[in-house]
């Protein structure tokens, strides 16, 4: 941890992201004693006084707020009403800030305007820019935003946040693959039949129409988070976790990734939930949720099958899927191995595939395989070995902020990777816009629409 004093300036301080994820992550980091001496400044359109802002911070920090450094940060924290798309307001906010971290907790269009305005401001030494997903809305808008950012600070000082990279089991993929000899030699097209990366949630829209109705499941989850997991699962071993080296490897994997079979009609599914009951809650149809424009045809569940077209993975389908309001929600990467080439005659009874599963909530690792089980010694039975990791020391936003304060961009998405992620999903988005893939329906609280690629279990 660096001991240089820093200022965390949150643009969009009154928003949902700040209260729900960013401040709780900061509180946990401060309570863990892992943050530098910090000044916290909130800025937003709302006319708040400092007391109102501090109360929001206290609420968001929860129990962490009583830790010594957290209490000090709260006490000294200030709030400024500002139009963050105006250079004069940004200049005022940055006046006297030490090595500022500017966190854009804002929608993409406002972030782009705020960055534009920053080109007219002399940025203090050591300024870092932290941008939320979605980073742009297409490969070309992401490329323009990247060009704009290079006019502000060097790439190592740009942190494109993907909080999935701060999740402990996502980071655990590195240890599972590259610190063991057991799994890595099997992770090739010779042994792997298929891979699924599934993040189904029992959460529904939860009042986020303003953002979600313009994003939909593919931009919200697949284009960002699930492609990052795919990159971690398919990358070659980095020499070190030096950010340049690590991100070269993940970018290389993304560059090899394209739509399976090249036809979105065959390789994608889109759907949205209708009314239903989920965990005792009656949910309205998505189209009837407050703030939703039904004519937009926003999907609440997306599934895309991809190929990672390189020597190691050619021929293995990778299916990425995420849905809202799904019952028994699964959050796992499931690597399904090919069957044993031949089971000796005489062994009988069970032929379920071997699987390695990496869970992203609950955080766990499991291996499903076949043994001669109890009873009849020649009858085969399935067994599962699993490891429960429990939560990481810090919530994902705590990890992300630790990287930013330490000037370590490893957990942030590099500019070229952000463009690649859009490039991968664009043929699907185009086919959806053209109506080539039907928008299916599934009742909230069901398992989602039927999909030929689906593995239940």
Chain residues that interact with ligand BG6, rule: CB under 6 A: 201, 203, 220, 361, 396
Label each residue of 244-305 as H, E or C: HHHHHHHHHHHHCEEEHHHCHHHHEEEEEEECEEECCEEECCHHHCCCCCHHHCCCCEEEEE
102 closest CA partner among 127, 125, 121:
127
Helix, strand or coil, per DSSP, at residue 337: strand
Q: State the nearest-atom distance from the C-beta of 272 to ligand BG6, in Å.
A: 14
C-beta closer to ligand BG6: residue 353 or 396: 396
Q: State the nearest-atom distance from the C-beta of 203 to ligand BG6, in Å.
A: 5
C-beta closer to ligand BG6: residue 30 or 170: 170
Contact between residue 299 and residue 218 where contact means Cβ atoms under 8 Å apart: yes
Q: State the nearest-atom distance from the C-beta of 172 to ligand BG6, in Å.
A: 15
Catalytic residue among 64, 225, 348, 350: 225
Q: Which two tokens stand for residue 283?
A: 């949910």
How far is it, in rounded angstroms, from Cα 254 to Cα 228? Answer: 9
How far is it, in rounded angstroms, from Cα 305 to Cα 258? Answer: 9
Q: State the nearest-atom distance from the C-beta of 364 to ligand BG6, in Å.
A: 15
C-beta closer to ligand BG6: residue 192 or 429: 429
Q: State the nearest-atom distance from the C-beta of 248 to ligand BG6, in Å.
A: 25
225 is catalytic: yes
Helix, strand or coil, per DSSP, at residue 351: coil
Q: Look-up: residue for tokens 């590259």?
A: 178
How far is it, in rounded angstroms, from Cα 453 to Cα 29? Answer: 40
Would you call the peptide bond into 233 cis, given omega within 30 degrees of 0 as the criterion? Answer: no
C-beta closer to ligand BG6: residue 106 or 316: 106
Q: What is the DSSP letter of 80?
A: E
How far is it, in rounded angstroms, from Cα 100 to Cα 98? Answer: 5
383 closest CA partner among 370, 396, 401:
370
Give the CB-nearest residue to ligand BG6. 220
Q: Which two tokens stand for residue 124?
A: 């203090």
CA distances from 451 to 204, 239, 266, 324, 428 (A): 20, 39, 11, 16, 17
C-beta closer to ligand BG6: residue 112 or 205: 205
Q: State the nearest-atom distance from the C-beta of 65 to ligand BG6, in Å.
A: 21
C-beta closer to ligand BG6: residue 15 or 317: 15
C-beta closer to ligand BG6: residue 16 or 156: 16
Q: If 0-12 CB within 10 Å is exposed, 13-18 middle and 19+ buried, where does residue 441 land? A: middle
Contact between residue 156 and residue 349 where contact means Cβ atoms under 8 Å apart: no
339 closest CA partner among 327, 323, 355, 324:
355
217 closest CA partner among 151, 296, 301:
301
78-81, strands of its sheet edge to edge? 78-81, 38-44, 6-11, 101-104, 128-131, 158-160
C-beta closer to ligand BG6: residue 126 or 361: 361
C-beta closer to ligand BG6: residue 243 or 323: 323
The secondary structure of 140-198 as a DSSP string is HHHHHHHHHHHTTS-GGGEEEB-GGGGSHHHHHHHHHHHS-SSSGGG-STTTEEEEEEE
Catalytic residues: 225
């Amino acid at each position: 941890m660096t001991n240089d004093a820093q200022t965390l300036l949150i643009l969009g301080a009154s928003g949902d992201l700040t209260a729900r994820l960013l401040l709780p992550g900061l509180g946990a980091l401060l309570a863990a004693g892992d943050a530098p001496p910090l000044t916290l400044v909130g800025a937003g359109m709302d006319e708040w006084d400092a007391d109102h802002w501090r109360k929001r911070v206290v609420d968001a920090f929860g129990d962490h707020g009583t830790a010594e450094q957290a209490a000090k940060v709260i006490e000294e924290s200030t709030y400024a009403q500002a139009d963050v798309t105006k250079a004069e307001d940004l200049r005022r906010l940055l006046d006297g800030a030490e090595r500022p971290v500017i966190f854009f907790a804002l929608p993409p269009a406002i972030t782009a305007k705020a960055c534009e305005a920053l080109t007219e401001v002399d940025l203090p030494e050591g300024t870092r820019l932290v941008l939320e997903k979605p980073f742009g809305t297409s490969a070309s808008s992401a490329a323009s935003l990247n060009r704009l950012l290079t006019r502000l600070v060097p790439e190592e000082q740009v942190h494109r946040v993907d909080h999935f990279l701060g999740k402990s089991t996502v980071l655990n993929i590195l240890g599972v693959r590259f610190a063991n000899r057991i799994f890595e030699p099997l992770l090739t097209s010779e042994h792997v039949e298929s891979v699924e990366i599934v993040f189904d949630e029992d959460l529904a829209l939860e009042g986020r129409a303003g953002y979600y109705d313009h994003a939909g499941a593919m931009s919200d989850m697949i284009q960002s988070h699930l492609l990052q997991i795919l990159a971690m699962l398919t990358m070659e071993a980095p020499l070190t976790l030096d950010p340049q080296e690590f991100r070269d490897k993940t970018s290389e994997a993304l560059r090899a990734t394209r739509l399976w079979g090249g036809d979105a009609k065959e390789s994608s599914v889109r759907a949205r939930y209708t009314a239903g009951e989920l965990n005792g809650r009656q949910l309205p149809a998505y189209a009837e949720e407050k703030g939703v424009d039904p004519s937009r045809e926003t999907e609440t569940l997306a599934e895309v099958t991809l190929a990672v077209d390189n020597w190691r993975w050619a021929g293995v389908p990778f299916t990425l899927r995420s849905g809202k309001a799904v019952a028994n929600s699964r959050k796992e990467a499931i690597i399904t191995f090919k069957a044993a080439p031949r089971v000796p005659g005489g062994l009988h009874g069970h032929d379920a595939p071997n699987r390695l599963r990496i869970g992203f909530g609950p955080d766990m690792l499991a291996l499903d395989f076949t043994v001669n089980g109890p009873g009849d010694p020649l009858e085969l039975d399935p067994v599962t070995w699993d490891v429960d990791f429990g939560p990481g020391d810090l919530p994902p936003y705590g990890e992300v902020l630790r990287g930013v304060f330490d000037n370590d961009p490893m957990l942030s998405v590099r500019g070229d990777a952000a463009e690649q992620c859009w490039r991968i999903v664009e043929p699907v988005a185009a086919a959806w816009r053209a109506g080539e893939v039907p928008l299916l329906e599934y009742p909230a609280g069901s398992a989602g629409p039927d999909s030929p690629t689906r593995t239940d279990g």
